[in-house]
Amino acid sequence: MMKILALVGTNANFSYNRLLLKFMKKHFKQMAEIELYEISKLPPFGVDVPLEEQTEVWKLKQKVKAADGVIFSTPEYDHGIPAALKSAVEWLSYHTKVLDRKPVMVVGVSYGRQASARSQVQMRQILISPDCNTNLLPGNEVLIGGATHVFSEDGRLIDPAMRDNLEKCFTNFIEYIQVFQHVDEEEVTMPIKQPSISDAYIKFPTGRLSLKEVQQIFSTIPFEIDLIDSSDNFSWFSDKPNREHVRDVASLNEPVTECHPPKAVPGVMSIINSFRDGKRDVVTRPLWMHGHRSLIQYYALRDVDGHYLGTIEFTGNVEYILNLFENGAWDKGADASTGASKHEDSADTTATPVAETADASTGASESNNEGADEMTTDPDVATDDGADASTGASESGSVDADDEAADATTGASEN
C-alpha cells in the first residue's frame, strides 16, 4: 500500500489541520497508509544547531525518504505559513535532498472564509524552490474554511462539498504519485544512447566472474556488506536477505553523516578517519542485535599500494558459528593442526551439508586471519579478541558503543 507522510503544519496543542489529517488517515485507509507527523518535535531551524541535537530531524528525514508522498497541512498566520512549519521545511532542505522530486500535496484549514488560501500559495512557492524541488501536485486545492462548522464533534469532515473535493484531490494525488513511479528510467535514458554492459566478465588475477555471479555471491554469503567510498558517501550495500541493518536504496550516494543518526556520526567518523589516516585497519564490534549475537567489523578498504579506497562494514548473525563452537565443533581439531584432521572432522559429522558449511566458514576465518591482526581462529585467544574489540570501541569514545546500539534500534523501529 502507498505510504504517505502527513505533516501537521503547526505546533499548537489544538489544531483543525491536525483534525483534517486524522480524518484523511481514517477516510482513505483503503487507498494509503497515512502517518501523521508532529513538527513540534523538531528543534527550531538554525545553521548553528549542533548535530547531536538533530536526532529528531534525522528521524523525520528518514520518514520522508521512506514515504511515497508527503502532505503538508497548513494553517495561516499573518498571510503566511506558521514559522514552525517553515522551520520544518528548512530542515528538510538544508544539506539534504530528501524532498527532491518527492510527490507532495498541500491542504489547509482555517477558521475564516479564506481557508488558508494565502498560506497555501506561499507553501507551494516554497515547495518548488530549488532546494526543495518537490514534485508538487498542481491544482487540486483543498481549502477548508469555517473550521468550527464543517467538522463533527468526533472529527469527521461533514460538509459534503468539501468532502467530495477532498476525495477527488486525494485520489488525484495517489495517481500523481503512480505516474512518477511508473517512469521507466531505462526508457528515459535510451534516447541519449547510454552505454550499458551485458554478459560481461570481470577478470581478476585469480579467475573471472560474471556481473550476475558477483551480485549473487554478495547475496549468498552469510554476512552483509556496506561500502562507504573514499569521499565518505554510502555507495553500495549487498542485497542479502534478512539483513541486520536494513538499508534503503534511497540512502545511496548520501554522505555518511546523513545516513546515520546524528549521535552516531562522531563514532562512525572517528573510525573512518582512523582508516583514512592509516592508524587502524579493522574495528570489531560484537553486539546483540534483534535478539541474537552479531558481529560488526569495519575494514579499511585499500588499494594494493595501501591507498585508502573506502570503508566496508561487514555485519552478520554469528549465532550459528558460536553454536558450532559451543557444541565443540572444533574440539577435535584443536590438537592436530594438519589438513587431514579437517577431513576427519567432516567425516565425523553425519550431515554432510553442515560439515561443508563448517568447512567454508573456517576457510573464511582463515583468510580474515591473514588480513587482520585482530582476528584469530584460535579458541584460546577468542576471549582476548573480545577484549580487543571493546578496547577499540572505548578508544574512539565510550559513546560509540551506545551509538551503535542506537543505530540498530533506530533501524529496527524504522522498519
Partner 1 sequence: MKIAAIAGSNANHSYNRMLLEFIADQYQDTDEVDVIDIRKVPMFNENYKGKAPEIIADLDQRVNAADAVIIASPEYNHSITSALKSVVEWMSYEVHPLENKPVMIVGASTHEQGSSRSQVQLRDILISPGVNAQVYQGNEFFMSDAANVIDEDGKINDEMTVKFLDKCIDDFKVYARAINKMVADQAAAEDQKEAAKD
CB of 387 to partner 1, least distance (A): 44
Nearer to partner 1, 13 or 198 (CB): 13
Would you state the cell numbers that stand for residue 57, as one nine-digit string?
530531524
Nearer to partner 1, 51 or 301 (CB): 51
Integer Cα distance of 260 and 335 in angstroms: 45
Integer Cα distance of 218 and 236 in angstroms: 11
Residues forming a β-bridge with 254: 234
Residues 6+ apart with CB under 8 A from 6: 21, 24, 25, 34, 35, 36, 37, 70, 71, 73
CB of 117 to partner 1, least distance (A): 13
Integer Cα distance of 291 and 220 in angstroms: 22
DSSP 379: G
Residues 6+ apart with CB under 8 A from 297: 282, 283, 284, 285, 313, 314, 315
Nearer to partner 1, 73 or 122 (CB): 122
Relative to beta strand 224-229, strand 282-289 is unpaired
Nearer to partner 1, 46 or 386 (CB): 46
Integer Cα distance of 149 and 376 in angstroms: 73
- Residues of this chain that interact with partner 1 (CB under 8 A) are 10-13, 40, 44-48, 77-87, 89-90, 93, 118, 122, 125-126, 128-129, 131-132
Nearer to partner 1, 114 or 349 (CB): 114
Integer Cα distance of 63 and 398 in angstroms: 29
Nearer to partner 1, 122 or 284 (CB): 122
Spacing of C-alpha 411 from chain mean position:
7
Integer Cα distance of 206 and 20 in angstroms: 63
Nearer to partner 1, 136 or 271 (CB): 136
Nearer to partner 1, 13 or 415 (CB): 13
Integer Cα distance of 11 and 87 in angstroms: 11
Nearer to partner 1, 90 or 385 (CB): 90
CB of 127 to partner 1, least distance (A): 8
CB of 323 to partner 1, least distance (A): 53
Nearer to partner 1, 87 or 349 (CB): 87
CA nearest neighbour of 298 among 331, 272, 328:
272
The kind and range of the H/E element at 118 are: helix 117-127
CB of 191 to partner 1, least distance (A): 32
CB of 310 to partner 1, least distance (A): 33
Integer Cα distance of 140 and 166 in angstroms: 9
Cα dihedral 55, 58, 60, 63 sign: negative
Q: Amino acid identity, residue 318? A: V
CB of 70 to partner 1, least distance (A): 15
CB of 131 to partner 1, least distance (A): 6
CB of 57 to partner 1, least distance (A): 13
Residues forming a β-bridge with 298: 283, 313
CB of 240 to partner 1, least distance (A): 39
